Structure formats: C-alpha cells, structure tokens
Structure 1
Amino acid sequence: MDTQHIRKIIHIDMDAFYASVERRDNPNLLGKPLVVAGTGPRSVVCTASYEARQFGVHSAMAVTTAKRLCPDAIYVPPDFPRYRAVSVQIHTIFARYTSLIEPLSLDEAFLDVTDYAGPLIYAQDIAQHIRASILSETGLTASAGIAPNKFLAKIASDWRKPNGQFVIAPQQVLRFLHHLPVGKIPGVGKVTERKMQDLGWHTVGDLARIERPILVHHFGRWGHRLYDLARGRDERAVQAQRQRQQISQEITLIHDENLAQICLRLPELAERLVVLMQRKRMMGSCVTLKLKTSNFHTLTRSQTFSHPLTEVSALLQAADSLITRMPQTAAEYRLIGLGISHLQAEHNQLDLWSTDSCQP
C-alpha cells in the first residue's frame, strides 16, 4: 500500500453534547440521569446523559417511553442558541489544525489532517490536542476516531466513549473489521441487522466473504456499498463546503403495516425531522413522503411551499396531505420516510426557529 496516498481522517464526536452543556452550566445536575427533551405530548429525546443511557434512554426516543424507562431522570428543555454558540467555539478549535472540516451536526465533524504541516507528527496526537483544547476552552469532553477513511473513523470515535480516542491504522483495518458486529456499520439498523443475522452474517468478516451480486440481491443498491465497507473501503473525501440535498428520517417496520397504521407513524417522524434540522442548522421548503411496499416498490409524494417549514405541526400537516395522494389500496408497507429539501442555512432566518425544537 502506498502510504503517501493514505488519508488521515479524524472524527470528533462530543460526549452527550446537549446534556454536557446543561451540566457544565448547572453543576447541580452532575452525576444524575439527565434527559434533554421538549415538553410537548409528542416530544422526543434530543440527548441523554450516560447515566440515563444505562436505563435504555437514547436520542429520538419518545419522551413517554424515556420516562417509563427512567422515571427518576431530570428532564430539561433544549437551548439550541446556547448549543450553537458552543459549537462555534469547537469549530474554531478545529480550524487551527485543518481547513478540511465537514460538520455533520452541532456536535460532530470529520477532519482531514493528511496535509497538516504543524509540529505534531501523528494524527492521533492532533486528535489528542484538539480534545484537550475543547476541554480547556469549553469545559466539555469529546471522543475521537482516527483512521484512513470516514467510515472507519466514525466507528472508531465510538470505541472508547466517553472522553477517549481510538486509532485504526491502515495495516489493522481488515483485522479490526473481521470480528466487528454488523450492527456497528453506520446505516445498519435493528431490522437490517436481524435480516443479516437470519442469513448467517453476524460480523463484518462474514459480509466480506459474500460476493457483490448476493449483497445487491438482498439489499439493492446499498449492497454495493456494503461490499466495499466490509473490505474497509470508503473513498468519500472530507467536504468542507458540503451541500446537503435533503434531510430525512425513516422507520423500517418490523412488520408490514397498512396505510391507516402508517398514518400513526407520522407525528414521530415529523418530530424527529425537526430535531435533526436543528442539529444540522438547516431548514427547507419541500416536504417528501416515502413509502416502500412489502415487495420493495418505492412510492414518493412531494410538495413545495413558499416558505421554510420549521415546526412539527407544519411538517405533520404537509405529511397528512401527502399521504392522501398515495394509492388508497390495501397494500402494506415495510418502510416510511419523511424528508425536507430545498434547504437553506438556518442563520438566514433565525427568527423562524422555535427556541424548543423538541416540542411541537
């Protein structure tokens, strides 16, 4: 392998970011299970402290479910302007080491330090310095993954959370992936993981033994991507000015559901989509509803509005309208998705944002 062409990618992921900011600013919350979430009847969890996660609470979970799992947790509403201000501090630190920064949300980003020309020799040392600067300047901890591509760096950043870092060197890639559970692959949810396990594929090493046509047969176009990832390949570059085309949320159903049952899923999807828009600091004016039938036929309906939709109620109203434009048949569906496009950065119209994105 020609080491001159191997990228050095760092994935920085803040530890329970929103909850950590709340605790930093209110020490009385330290050591207690803390959940940042809206107060509305359909609200979802924005983030949970590690104490709350021990009870099974996680991001995008309905607050009603979280309270059942962890009734003694402290629930506080999100303060996105404050989180954004801290995020700006963190990205200022990133910029000291590279100009190739690809933000994924307020609390995570990819950095390409391949061409770093400072005094530090190794990418792991750069990551260590970044994390130390974040701690000293913001009082918050971050975890980091260091690897030759984005796919591996993102997996590595989760390996020693919280407040740790992990390196996957080029010569270690195949050995690292061999025993990695398939559920650790970004994008493999519980339903897909279960399907893989039913096929006898439990580890990435198992996937690496499967030929491309077989993966494509079972997973469609994504099978091509799985074929490459199972071999540690990911040629995506860190894009400093990445233009996001759409923000979306999907639910892959454990059992097929009819259109009436699908309608009951729309409030959860609208709520999750608003939370994600806030995280990405984006807003959009075109709403798309996607349904996938039990035989993998995809149906989409879209509507463009004259202004950005930023509230759960507006997204839900649009989704309700779009579902009436779907075929009113007895068909059953295995997946439902809701997306927003025609995007613009939120800072162009800050006054349109609710101060509490987790509350309808």
Structure 2
Amino acid sequence: MRNNIIHVDIDAFYASVEELDNPSLIGKPMCVGGLSDRSIITTANYEARKYGIHSAMPVFMAKQLCSDLIIMPMRRSLYVEKSKEVFKIISKYSSTIEKVSIDESYLDISKNKHKPVDMIYAMKEDIKKNTGLTVSVGLSYNKFLAKLASDWNKPNGLMIITKSDIPDILKPLDINNVHGLGQKSQQKLRALGINTIEELLALPEDFLVEMFGKMGSEIYQRIRGIDNRKVEPNRVRKSMAVERTFLDTNDADLLREYIKNYATELSKDLSEKNLGFYTITLKLKNSNFKTTTHSKTFPHVIRTFDEIYEISLKIFDEQYTGEKLRLAGISASNLTDLNYEQLSF
C-alpha cells in the first residue's frame, strides 16, 4: 500500500508569524491572544509550551505558569495573508489539496512523479525560503495516519507511517490520539481502564459500536490502520464553526470573552471565503458533558463580526443558567456565497 497522503501543519502558526514580524520575540515565551486576564490563549510558541501553556488556556492562568510571558494581540488579516503565501507554494506540489484550516491541509500526491520524501523536503525548503515559516509533515497511506504523523516530530518535522508499522507503532499512544474520540468518549474508556491504543485494540467492534454508535466502527478500523476518507479539494461547506474546550468555569464574564473571541475568528473565516449565513447556533457543554445547542435563523444574511457577536451574546444571556461549562462554540449554517448574493442583487 503506497504512502500517497500528506498532512501539512504550519508550526505554531500565529506565534511564528509574530516572530517573523518581530525577531526580538524569538527565544522568548510568547503567546497570541487577548490582552486582558479574562481572554484566552490562541497560539503559544514552543518556548511558552515548555511551561505547559497551550491554546484555549485563560491568560491569567498562563501568566501564573510564566511570569515573563509576552502576549501579542491577534492580527488575523496578517495571518490570512501569510497562509495564502504558504498554500500558494503547497499548490505547486499537488493539485489535490484539502485545506482543513488556515494552517493545515491534506495533499494527495499519488500523481506526483517524484519520490514522496524528496518532494516533501523540497516543499519544506521552498516554504521556509519564501515565507520564513516551518511546517511539520506526516506521510502515510490514509488521512488518519498522515495527521497523526505530522504531530510526531514538531516543529519542522517529518514522520512516515507505513502499512508495516501498524498496529505496533500505535500501541503505546494515548487514546487521545485517536481522531473521533472526544473528551466524553475518552472519559468512558478511561473509566474502564482503557488509556492506550494497545488496550483499545483488545475491545471487540460490537462493544465499541454499543458504546459509541456508528463512530465505534470507525474507531475500530482507524486504530487498525483503516481510513477510507479521500482528500477532497472541492468539499461543499454546509457550516462553519469555532469551538474550544477549556477548564471548567462558571465565570460568566470569562465565558462572554470566549464568545467574543469565537465571533472574531468565525467572522474572519467567513470573510476569507466571502460567505454569509442565515442560521447561527450557540453550543454549550457543561462539566458533566451534557451538550445543549440554541439556534436562531434570520430572513436576512448575517456576515459581520458585530452581528455574530451581538446575536451569540444575546443567546448566551438568554440560555446560560450559571452551571460550570467546559466547552462553548458558535457555528454558522445555511451558508450563502456573497459573490452570488451580490450578483443576484
């Protein structure tokens, strides 16, 4: 089975762009995020990660872990432009690219005539030379393993997972490495003493299906190296969402700050693709893992940060009852292409 699937992940993207713009930040613990203590960390550079700082962590907690932490305000337009530079280079190496987010993508290189490893090193060097950024790359024969591999040797890494490596290479890994196993699912498995993929491999498929429904079969197959998802360059987006898991809190002001950050990110994602939408949904998950969603549909197109933030905040204030939450998110659905809207008008 040939290794034709690549996952490319730009290393500590927002933080790396800030270091490029201001080299004096290099070697110092630095994060991108909100400037108030109630804000959250969006991206931490590798120096900051040594202190245990990570994305979605409240700023006040990050400062407790590292008193010298430098926090840079988020400059989304700068990151979007830098992302375009990277993806323009990536597109030289494959015509089949699935952009997953502003800083990661899958490539199908089955039509590439060069040796995969030679191609990857050429691409990495090309990106570094022309953008100043480094990328970590995973190469394998399916998407699950390629993504897993890209996270293996960060930063600026390359990892190859072949058919002969499976399942032995996966056995020591924690179950949090399995795409499709969320926090609630992991909690169920850990309650049974299942903490590693090796322990997960011992469970029969029907048992996993009973626990997780259809996803149980997908998990059973993935940990055995089976993932039939294709790289889809022209996926039709039905919705766009921003959500994060954070430490349990019932601090309403902090939760409102999270929502403001999500509204900012979502509005930028929509703007980048020139999309609007008609339905907005606020998702909340409490400390007992109970998830609730609250949606509103409008007769007119929603497109701006102000609209998204105002509507999301109103839904939150109407629905929040004061319990501790561990996740919040905003999604936009019933998407519409604004180019088409303007043409129709």
- Please tell me whether the aligned partners of residues 8 and 137 of structure 2 are also in contact (alpha carbons under 8 angstroms): yes
Q: Which residue of 1 aligns with 2:261?
A: 271
Q: Which residue of 1 aligns with 2:334?
A: 342
Q: Which residue of 1 aligns with 2:120?
A: 127
Cα offset for 1:216?
A: 2.7
What SS does the corresponding residue of 2:224 show, helix, strand or coil?
coil
Q: Does 1:175 align with 2:165?
A: no
Answer with 142-151 or 67-76: which moved more: 67-76
Letter in 1 for 2:262: R
- Please tell me whether the aligned partners of residues 289 and 319 of structure 1 are also in contact (alpha carbons under 8 angstroms): no
Answer with 332-341 or 239-248: which moved more: 332-341
Deviation string for 1:81-108 (max 9, x for gaps)?
2222221221121111111111112211
Q: Does 1:200 align with 2:193?
A: yes
1:135-284 aligned at under 5 Å gives the runs 135-250=128-243, 265=255, 267-272=257-262, 274-275=264-265, 278=268, 281-282=272-273, 284=276
Which of the numbers 298, 305, 308 marks the counterpart of 2:302?
A: 308
- CA–CA distance in 2 between the matches of 1:294 and 1:221? 25
Distance 1:242 1:223, change over 3 A: same
Distance 1:126 1:346, change over 3 A: farther
User: TM-score if structure 2 supplies the norm length?
Assistant: 0.83
Letter in 2 for 1:144: V
1:3-14 aligned at under 5 Å gives the runs 3=1, 6=2, 8-14=4-10
Which of the numbers 73, 83, 86 marks the counterpart of 1:87?
A: 83
Q: Which residue of 2 aligns with 1:357?
A: none
- CA–CA distance in 1 between the matches of 2:108 and 2:206? 33
Which of the numbers 45, 55, 60 marks the counterpart of 1:59?
A: 55
Distance 1:277 1:188, change over 3 A: farther
Letter in 2 for 1:218: M
Cα offset for 1:316?
A: 5.5
User: TM-score if structure 1 supplies the norm length?
Assistant: 0.80
- CA–CA distance in 2 between the matches of 1:188 and 1:42? 29
- Please tell me whether the aligned partners of residues 247 and 277 of structure 1 are also in contact (alpha carbons under 8 angstroms): no
1:343-358 aligned at under 5 Å gives the runs 343=335
- Please tell me whether the aligned partners of residues 87 and 107 of structure 1 are also in contact (alpha carbons under 8 angstroms): yes
Distance 1:142 1:290, change over 3 A: closer
Which fold has the larger relative contact order, with Cα–Cα distance below 8 Å and residues 6 or more apart in sequence? 1
Identity fraction in percent: 36
Distance 1:254 1:42, change over 3 A: closer
- Please tell me whether the aligned partners of residues 263 and 305 of structure 2 are also in contact (alpha carbons under 8 angstroms): no
Cα offset for 1:265?
A: 4.1
Cα offset for 1:8?
A: 0.7
Letter in 2 for 1:308: I
Distance 1:79 1:149, change over 3 A: same
Show structure 2 runs of 5+ residues with no match. none
- CA–CA distance in 2 between the matches of 1:214 and 1:46? 37
Cα offset for 1:37?
A: 1.5
- CA–CA distance in 2 between the matches of 1:49 and 1:295? 32
Letter in 2 for 1:84: V
Cα offset for 1:128?
A: 1.3
Cα offset for 1:31?
A: 0.7
Letter in 2 for 1:89: E
Q: Which residue of 2 aligns with 1:356?
A: none
Q: Which residue of 2 aligns with 1:68?
A: 64
- Please tell me whether the aligned partners of residues 11 and 150 of structure 1 are also in contact (alpha carbons under 8 angstroms): yes
Answer with 73-82 or 215-224: which moved more: 215-224
- CA–CA distance in 2 between the matches of 1:346 and 1:14? 29
Q: Which residue of 2 aligns with 1:352?
A: none
Show structure 1 runs of 5+ residues with no match. 350-360
- CA–CA distance in 2 between the matches of 1:71 and 1:112? 44
Deviation string for 1:248-275 (max 9, x for gaps)?
34567998x9xx8899745424523533
- CA–CA distance in 1 between the matches of 2:171 and 2:331? 35
- CA–CA distance in 2 between the matches of 1:49 and 1:345? 35
Deviation string for 1:224-248 (max 9, x for gaps)?
3212222221111111122222233
Deviation string for 1:42-84 (max 9, x for gaps)?
4322211100111122122222322232231111112222222
What SS does the corresponding residue of 1:151 show, helix, strand or coil?
helix
Deviation string for 1:196-218 (max 9, x for gaps)?
22212122222222222322332
- Please tell me whether the aligned partners of residues 259 and 313 of structure 2 are also in contact (alpha carbons under 8 angstroms): no
Distance 1:31 1:292, change over 3 A: closer
